[in-house]
Amino acid sequence: MRGWQALAAVSIAALGMATGASSAADKVFDNPMVFDVPIDWCTSAGGKCGSAAADLFCESQGFKESLKFKKQATSEMTIYFASGKACTNGKCEALTQVTCSGGNGGELQVEASTESDFGDVEGEEEEESTEAPGPNAFPQVVQSFDLKGQIKNDPSVVANPADPNNPVAVFGRGMDDALWFTVGDGVSGWKGWKQIGGLIKLAPGCASHNASYNGPQTQLVSCFVVGADDAIWYTDQLPGKPGSFSGFNQLGGLTKSSPSAVGAVDEAGNRALYVFVRGLDNRLWYNQFRPEVISAVDPVGWLGWVPIGYEMAGAPTCVSMGGNHIDCYFRGAKGEIVEAPNVFGRGPQTPLGGETEKRPGVLVSKDFQQVRILVKGMDEMMWVKSWKSGSGFKDWRPTELPMFGQPSCRDLGDGRASCVSADADGRVKADIIPFDMIR
């Protein structure tokens, strides 16, 4: 899939960028675009289509109106000219040629574009959509990249500190029920999928953490999966070999939901790795790995399963909030999102509203002062609820980004996030979105 530059909400006056061929009076614009994104056949989602969109474009170029115009269906992204938002549903229609009239004789400087053989609909009557426009006012233009893989369930996306050239790793349950992964820059540079193996159920839960016993810190990735026996199994990235993983080891515990892993510290400040699951009693359980401690329970440092509590109706997504403070989010009995803050301090279970069929994705800022909860809404679009230290949670807000599964997002460090998800057929994509979209 082609990727496009991120675009803030724009005014008509700022959109005087198009490609085309000029004439002294009327002017023909081939494949008009905004910041390299084709202009949609409609003025906005649920707005007027046809001549209304063409007229707006002509007015932005200094002309009075459009004389005729052409369109073509496209699977690529298009811009709604009146709102600056994007059509991203794969069934968009782009203006491919607009003839403008009543202008100023060509004050705007334009560049000629490559001719195309697109089909046309000339002089189309204005169409009115009966679909109500969405309530979201966020900028919606995103870059989308195909990771060229197909998985069951949802991906797990983590930092990959062992390989600085490929700082993001994506793990998923392949169509063969084995664990697979790919690494890359989080945007367009992905290295292809590689099988780790195993026979697993559901989506994996992976985390990067400090795995060293003594001496220099060793940052590695560990992945946890539900095996055919409904127990938790895990595999570790091999030190010095970021593209290789160990065989699977059974950790015990029984669950019917995907696990969640968090790299953090314990109550004494020692390095630790936690895995959380929804137990068969529908409550939150965890197991803890301490690289500095060899326990009687497990000779490699696992301390055994411990119940925490909380009533859950779905798999947890747990995140570090600094130190030993870990928050978990999951679905309640009615599909709403529930927060379990500071689970080791037994913080009160807090309903956050919303409704989803999937467990949420959670994005935490590096300073732990902001949290963004990202879910697939019942309308198959991504919704966001954000929290900021000192001001608390905002209401749920929709985006116009289609979402067929759980979004798993990572901060790219440049004002954007990379949100990886699988579509209805399991194809994996990365949507690069501005933080303004999920503020």
pLDDT greater at residue 183 or residue 293:
183
DSSP character string of 180-205: EEEEE-SSS-B---EEEE--EEEEEE
At residue 139 the predicted structure's pLDDT band, cuts being 50, 70 and 90, is very low
Residue 39 DSSP label = B
Per-residue model confidence (pLDDT) at position 352: 96
Q: Flag whether pLDDT at 184 surpasses 80.
A: yes
CB count in 10 Å sphere of residue 264: 22
Q: Indicate if the alpha-carbon torsion angle 99, 100, 101, 104 is positive or negative.
A: negative
At residue 110 the predicted structure's pLDDT band, cuts being 50, 70 and 90, is very low
146-438 — its CATH code?
2.120.10.70
At residue 136 the predicted structure's pLDDT band, cuts being 50, 70 and 90, is very low
Which residues lie below 8 Å from residue 1, measured CB to CB, with a gap of 6+?
Answer: 75, 76, 144, 145, 146, 429
Q: What is the pLDDT of residues 368-409, one digit of tens each?
A: 999 999 999 999 889 999 999 999 999 999 887 888 888 899
How far is the first Cα of the chain from the last one, in angstroms, to the nearest whole number? 26
Per-residue model confidence (pLDDT) at position 7: 29
Per-residue model confidence (pLDDT) at position 300: 62
β-strands 361-364, 370-376 pairing: antiparallel
DSSP character string of 290-339: -TT---SS-TTSB---EEEEEE-SS--EEEE-STT-EEEEEE-TTS-EEE
| Closest CA relative to residue 357, chosen from 313, 416, 400 | 313
**Average pLDDT estimate for 285-301:** 70
At residue 80 the predicted structure's pLDDT band, cuts being 50, 70 and 90, is confident
| Boundaries of every domain in the chain | 12-128, 146-438
pTM: 0.69
Q: What is the pLDDT of residues 26-53, one digit of tens each?
A: 899 999 987 567 899 998 888 889 998 9
- Cα–Cα distance for residue pair 388/380, rounded to 1 Å: 26
352 to each of 74, 81, 245, how far by Cα in Å?
38, 35, 38
